[in-house]
Amino acid sequence: MRGIGHWVVKRAQLSNSKEALVFNNHCITYGQLNNRINRLANGLTQLGVQKGTRVAVFLMNGNEILEAMFACAKIGAIFVPINFRLSIEEVEYILNDSGATIFIYQSDYAQLASEMYINKRVPILCWISVGNPIVKGDIQYENFLMMHTDIEPEVDVDGEEVHMIMYTSGTTGRPKGAMLTHANTFWNIIQILIAQPVLETDTTLTVAPLFHSGAMTILTLSLLYKGGTVVIYNRFDPVQVLQTIVQKKITCMFMVPSMWLAVTQTTYFDKCNFELLRFGISAGAPCPLTVIKLLLKKGVPIIQAFGLSEVAPVAILSLQDAGRKIGSVGKPAFYVDVRIVNESGQEACVGEVGELMVKAPNVMIGYWKKTQETQETFQEGWFLTGDCARRDKEGYIYIVGRKKDVIITGGENVYPVEVEQVLYRHPNIKEVAVVGVPNKKWGEAIKAVIVLKELSQCISIDGIKAFCEGKLARYKMPKILEVVSALPRNAAGKVLKSSLR
């Protein structure tokens, strides 16, 4: 199998004059995109980048982050996308851990780059700025491209070579770098295209950050592989997203649940016409069922998918089942084998909760420089996801939460997602997170941390219990209530339940 850099070569041949990317109202055709990628690839080669060299990018959404990924792929370099919301200490950790020597960064974050340059605590030899460079000696991205030829690089890249190190969000410690091969990414895309009706005529809107696997692979790379058009925004504004769906004739799109939630809570949502939007995809966390139902009423089926940085997708709901199986992430993707194993190490029965295990060609080959962690994550060839799930009698999978987040109260296991989905139905709850806190009598007590829609309307724990009556078993009802202005989140946007505990 050839490397994924060959994708853009073929697309330039097959769809040369078609719009590939639209960013800041500037269109880039497939032919132009391939030429720009070649210029960057040849420029990186001139800087000494070769097979295995790590190239780190600290970029907001834009054509540049995709150009960098494909340029690395064409010359066998390893692409290292970094979350631009991270602190300088976290960025320095990833740069040192990966050993990246090239750093392509957004000029919006020039202060961070400047501090790293001055402190000299990272192995970076060359700094390339998208925008106006601030650090002395930096190379300006567009100038760099124009300095080099667009001739196709002559590097033979095999599909089994690592093309990307994607760092996990690190909610339980230092982030780990998941090593993904060209073949891993190829199979990611194939799994999605088999499961969903993604067409060459489709236009998607990418607004979720491209440093995450969901935003990068689910529809962005899938559309570029198929020859569709990707509209890119570098900032999320729920009203702007709704307006763009109409104005740019978006036919399919991916967003994380918090984005779908924000979109449905705007006053513009009720007025919006979704006539051309065939489906939406949600992943990254369980999507509130209330949000899925609101979009279904507007004629937009929301397809839930499940995956991790290490393997995506694992499962994805079919378009036909979007209304019938609300809350499910569907069946395992076509080339994915799944096991759900209970606490006894046996295959879980229908409806029984256990840990989800995966075996598939899109599972990472391991964690960068972390042999022990890699060995602990695999069991006889099966990847341990750390997520709890159950299957229904038809084989559809439901994710109930992270294994580490399970609450054990009075000897009973309570899965936070189940409680959160009920609380999201409360008319005055905007956002909610459920955690277990130490309790002398029960071992753990269930605590609900909520963000209100209307601050003027008070809410009490007795009121929450009354609302949950008949919807949850009593031992699953929250015993403690805390109202906050916002839920704490990490740089990846995931709720920090450790902080809430």
**Structure confidence by residue, pLDDT tens digits, 474-491:** 999 999 999 999 998 876
Using CA atoms, how far residue 289 sits from 117, 274, 357, 445, in Å, is 47, 19, 25, 25
- With beta carbons less than 8 A apart as the criterion, state whether 414 and 439 touch: no
Rounded Cα distance between 222 and 188, Å, is: 9
Closest CA to 33 of 139, 149, 124, 150: 150
Specify the pLDDT at position 368: 98
Rounded Cα distance between 37 and 211, Å, is: 18
Residue 246 pLDDT exceeds 80 = yes
Superfamily of domain 406-500: ANL, C-terminal domain (3.30.300.30)
Which residues does residue 302 pair with via DSSP β-bridges, in sequence order? 280
CATH architecture of 184-403: 3-Layer(aba) Sandwich (3.40)
Q: Rounded mean pLDDT of the chain?
A: 94
Specify the pLDDT at position 82: 96
Which residues does residue 258 pair with via DSSP β-bridges, in sequence order? none
Rounded Cα distance between 477 and 284, Å, is: 25
Residue showing tokens 């071992």: 443
- Asked if 30-158 and 184-403 have one fold, the answer is yes
Map out the domains of the chain as residue ranges: 30-158, 184-403, 406-500
Of the chain, the percentage scoring pLDDT greater than 70 comes to: 98
Q: Determine if the pTM surpasses 0.75.
A: yes
Closest CA to 256 of 198, 212, 309, 313: 212
- With beta carbons less than 8 A apart as the criterion, state whether 135 and 113 touch: yes
**Structure confidence by residue, pLDDT tens digits, 21-40:** 999 999 999 999 999 999 99
Is CATH 3.90.1150.150 what the domain over 30-158 is classified as, yes or no?
no
For residues 233-238, average pLDDT? 96
Task: Give kind and range of the element (H or E) at residue 443.
Answer: strand 443-452
